Amino acid sequence: MTGKSNSVAPAAGAIGAEISGINLSQELSDDSIAAIRQALLDHLVVFFREQELTPRQIMAFARRFGEPVTYPFVKGLDDFPEITPILKRESDRSNFGGLWHSDTTYQEVPPMGTILYGIEIPPYGGDTEFANQYLAYETLSAPLRGFLDGLKAVNVSGKGATQKTRDEMMKQAPSGLKGDELSARHPVVRTHPETGRRALYVNGAHTLHFDGMTEEESAPILEFLFRHQVKAEFTCRFRWSKGAVAFWDNRCTQHNPINDYHGFRRLMHRVTLAGTVPA
């Protein structure tokens, strides 16, 4: 995808690219899928504009990259349970997932990636930030990288601030879980199974403490890492428009949906793709 009809344009120096000249509602060739996958590996998150996708078409696109899986705490669409409708109503004050995080790292097998499709978009606000976790790891000092290499951390679904961002969605479409049931231990630094690069794999939404250390012992280092890994120079910011699609690699990114559009309705459809056990 390098010609005038299909192009990949970087969104920022550290992360992100916009792919133009491609219609995701069509059945794409193997070459096109391979090119999108390579762009995802190169840029960590890719964006598409002006798409018109039915739930069936979103699922068909997603299946070209992996197996769609359900989200544990919010019920999906009746006919497509792997599609989670992300709705913030005019009266809602909190937004779903509204803090820096990697998706569902409290699961033993967290997702490979996430596809998000914009259906109803506020007139302003609601941007999403993305952060490059390869750079977050590579810019740490050698002694700190040495300390973190080989460590594991406990990730939980029920950290207080995270729970609050799910409250409205869980009221609208409850799955039957309370939200605090899940936990998993994962490497603090994971190796990407396709690129072989190492990425920092803790996040402020879900990581509670280092395995074998108390929360009090872990807190100073984790708090430093949470600030460090989302530095501006590691990030890009995507402004949504109706029909836009973002597809990010959950193995090496974090994202932050900004909650600055109170009084407006915003509806997205989200699909997550099955991953592998982090190593």
Which one of the listed residues 43, 101, 266, 269 is annotated catalytic?
101
- Number of domains making up the chain: 1
Mean pLDDT for the stretch of residues 88-109? 93
The DSSP symbol for 23 reads -
The CATH number covering residue 80 comes to: 3.60.130.10
Q: What confidence score (pLDDT) does residue 163 get? A: 60
Is 144 a member of any domain? yes
Q: Is 261 helix (H, G, I), strand (E, B) or coil?
A: coil
Q: Compute how many other C-beta atoms are within 10 angstroms of the C-beta atom of residue 31.
A: 9
- 138 confidence band (pLDDT: 50, 70, 90): very high
Determine whether 266 is an active site residue. Answer: no
Contact criterion met (CB below 8 Å) for 249 and 131: no
Is 145 a member of any domain? yes
Closest-CA residue to 269 (of 58, 95, 41, 65): 58
Q: How would DSSP label each residue in 187-199?
A: ESEEE-TTT--EE
Is 68 a member of any domain? yes
Provide the percentage of residues in the chain whose pLDDT is more than 70: 91
Determine whether 270 is an active site residue. Answer: yes
Of 122-131, 176-185, 225-234, the least confident: 176-185
- 6 confidence band (pLDDT: 50, 70, 90): confident
**Does the pLDDT value for residue 270 go beyond 50?**
yes
Domain range spanning residue 114? 7-120+128-273
Is 2 a member of any domain? no
Which one of the listed residues 209, 255, 266, 269 is annotated catalytic?
255
Provide the percentage of residues in the chain whose pLDDT is more than 90: 86
pLDDT per residue as tens digits for the range 189-210: 999 999 999 999 999 999 999 9
Mean pLDDT for the stretch of residues 134-141? 98
Is 278 a member of any domain? no
Which one of the listed residues 43, 192, 251, 270 is annotated catalytic?
270
- 177 confidence band (pLDDT: 50, 70, 90): low
Is 160 a member of any domain? yes
**Does the pLDDT value for residue 183 go beyond 90?**
yes
Is 231 a member of any domain? yes
Q: How would DSSP label each residue in 100-122?
A: SB-TTTTSSS--SEEEEEEEE--
Q: Is 3 helix (H, G, I), strand (E, B) or coil?
A: coil
Is 1 a member of any domain? no
Determine whether 255 is an active site residue. Answer: yes
Q: What confidence score (pLDDT) does residue 40 get? A: 98
Determine whether 262 is an active site residue. Answer: no
